[in-house]
């Protein structure tokens, strides 16, 4: 019996790049006899030198045994230790709290902006009220002064007022 030499393959690990499925979305391509397989219709895998017709099958292919074997990996994964699991839980918990703090910061910023707008509106109202009161007092002060001046000069009035 002849057995092939055992090849030590790397354990399965996470991809370090993002799979680009959207680049060919909605595009039309003219394919001729002379078109290279890498530019033909569908998704081309340069590791396995094959073309897959749709994105779902392409994802199945790049996650499959044949593709992983061509990359030099086995389908076995590394067992995580208790410490690694605890560290990952702590990391995820910190990340969640940071997101929560960021959300709280956003809400606080919005509330501060709303409060500032409300204060500005109150100040405007106060200014308008002050101007209104000043105009009313000016109008009431002007009437006696005008009548006194009219009496001194001997007039009954300076003309019709348009109030």
pLDDT of residue 108: 84
Instruction: Evaluate if pTM is beyond 0.75.
Output: no
Mean pLDDT by 10 residues, the chain (163 residues): 71 84 81 82 88 90 91 87 96 89 79 94 94 80 65 67 60
Domain ranges of the chain: 10-77, 79-134
With H, G, I as helix, E, B as strand and everything else as coil, classify residue 140: helix
pLDDT on residue 160: 64
Q: What is the 3-state secondary structure (H, E, C) of 37-54?
A: HHHCCCEEECCCCEEECC
């Amino acid at each position: 019996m002849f057995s092939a030499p055992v090849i030590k393959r790397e354990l399965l690990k996470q991809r370090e790049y993002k799979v680009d499925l959207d680049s060919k979305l909605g595009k039309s391509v003219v394919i001729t006899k002379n078109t290279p397989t890498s530019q033909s219709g569908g998704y081309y895998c340069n590791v396995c030198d094959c073309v897959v017709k749709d994105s779902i099958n392409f994802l199945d292919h790049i996650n499959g045994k044949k593709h992983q074997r061509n990359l030099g990996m086995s389908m076995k994964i590394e067992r995580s230790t208790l410490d690694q699991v605890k560290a990952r839980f702590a990391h995820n918990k910190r990340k969640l709290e940071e997101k929560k703090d960021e959300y709280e910061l956003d809400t606080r910023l919005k509330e501060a902006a709303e409060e500032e707008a409300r204060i500005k509106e109150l100040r405007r109202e106060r200014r308008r009220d002050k101007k209104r009161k000043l105009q009313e007092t000016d109008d009431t002060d002007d009437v006696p002064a005008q009548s006194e001046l009219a009496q001194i000069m001997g007039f009954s009035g300076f003309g019709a007022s348009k109030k």
